[in-house]
Amino acid sequence: MGTTEENLREEIKSLQKEMARQQDEIAAYRLAQKVLIEVTTGCSSKPGGIIKAALQKTLDVCADVTATEKGSLFLLDPASKKIVDAILTRTEVSPEQRTKLIGSVLDKGLAGWVSRNREIGLITDTEQDDRWLTLPNQPYIVRSALGVPIINNQNLLGIITLLHSQPNHFTDRMAESMEATAEQIGLVLENARLYGQLDIYSKALDHELEKGRQIQIDFLPYDIPKLDDWEIVACFHPAKQVAGDFYDAFTLGNDQIGLVIADVCDKGVGAALFMALFRSLIRIFSSEEDKLQATTTSINLAHEKALQAVRLTNDYVAQNHWQMSMFATLFFGVLDPKTGLLSYVNGGHEPLFIINQDGIKQTLNSTGPAVGMMPNMKFEIKEVQLEPGEILIGYTDGVTEAKCPEGKLFTDKRLKEMVEKPANSASELIGRIKNKLFDYMEDAAQFDDITMLAVRRN
């Protein structure tokens, strides 16, 4: 009978220990969960970013759970073991005292002992334990302390030190609970560290993209040619910091005017780089018209030579950058301001419209494929006449494919309704379309670049 009772007592003790262990694990999980929730909800408003907020929240929650009066959390670099950040809570020390405190405790104090031994350090009475270092002129009393290593994947990520002015404040049970909690906190801090790095990389990338945006803006014509009896206006709204759309208006030989509107396939940095390439090639090749030979006598000679820039650009991109699979839909027109004659190539671009007081007079459809897809492609040159009062307007598909909050497209139909109404100037027409377009989009995200170019003969 006695043996049975002893066995029962042992089993009960074993169950009690197991229950206590499970309770500690549950408490540790809840504590870590609380830290995680606090970090996730409070980081965005904290100066210094997510890692600083994670440290502060971790220390605050641990201090609250253990009724700690003061404490510290040192974040270590896993490779060098050096402190990369530190947080002190409920402390009145000056910045100078803070620096001295951190250096001293890591050298001779409890935090240093925890770092070297990678195990929890419990001091029930600082006056009886040589692991405690009392600093000269210490502004507060410490009689009990608890040092907890934060380890993740064998890496020492940090050390939490909790302090109290009364001896025996921290118990073995509390130490075991904090040790279990530290493992979960290690996951939180490691994630916070990774998010912090991501935040740094993201800001650096934003900075580089902003420089790219400014460079790209410089590629757009700073001064659109001012001509007697002519009005040239443009509208450019990139969907991202850098864009694949571009427009251009520049002077060629014999006072002819080059007009370009184009849309490079894809988005982002790659499209922006090719946008700069296409724009530069069109300008360079069209200005070398004296080196080119005419292929027909039916088109204005100077215009035909300049417009061969489209063919040369196509061949250059297709032969030298074929592996990138980048191309552009592109309209390039050459205007004679004296006569109103416009010779043009439309390389797979959206149709342009010539508008008079009665609506759409003429549509300038594609005269060849998109530019840069394959070498030796044919691009037909066509001519139109712009009469006084008429407007030529071109756009990119970011206009017609813009979406409202419900996801429906703006459509070609709505655009035609806008351009068919009489306009007294190119500026008025562009402004009308832009207002209607952005009213339609409301607060919906802009997925594509929006570009328009309009020319009016007054």
Each residue's pLDDT tens digit, 232-289: 999 998 887 667 788 999 999 889 999 999 999 877 777 778 888 899 999 999 987 5
State the residue for tokens 């307007």: 393
Model pTM score: 0.61
Mean residue pLDDT across the chain: 83
**Rounded Cα–Cα distance for residues 152 and 263 (Å):** 50
Bridge partners of residue 117, in order along the sequence: none
What are 432-447's pLDDT values in tens digits? 999 999 999 999 988 8
What does the CA dihedral 444, 445, 447, 452 come to, rounded to 10 degrees? 70
**Rounded Cα–Cα distance for residues 73 and 349 (Å):** 61
What are 165-199's pLDDT values in tens digits? 999 999 888 888 788 777 777 777 777 667 767 77
User: Cβ distance 360 to 421 under 8 Å?
Assistant: no
**Rounded Cα–Cα distance for residues 451 and 455 (Å):** 14
Q: Running DSSP on this structure, what letter comes out for residue 334?
A: E
pLDDT score for 61: 78
Q: pLDDT: is 450 or 53 the higher one?
A: 450
For residue 63, give the 3-state DSSP assignment: helix
CA 371 to each of CA 62, 263, 295, 347: distance values in angstroms, whole numbers, following the listed order:
64, 10, 20, 6
How many other CB atoms sit within 10 Å of the CB of residue 430?
A: 20
Tokens of 206: 């934003």
pLDDT score for 30: 63
Percent of residues, the chain, with pLDDT higher than 90:
45
> What mean pLDDT is predicted for residues 68-78?
84
Q: Running DSSP on this structure, what letter comes out for residue 369?
A: -
Q: How does residue 48 score in pLDDT terms, banded at 50, 70 and 90?
A: very low
What are 114-155's pLDDT values in tens digits? 988 999 999 999 999 989 887 766 677 899 999 999 888 888
Q: pLDDT: is 350 or 61 the higher one?
A: 350
For residue 321, give the 3-state DSSP assignment: coil
Tokens of 217: 């803006």
Residues 6+ apart with CB under 8 A from 256: 302, 303, 306, 334, 335, 336, 337
Burial class (CB in 10 A: 0-12, 13-18, 19+), 218: exposed
What are 25-37's pLDDT values in tens digits? 666 556 656 655 5
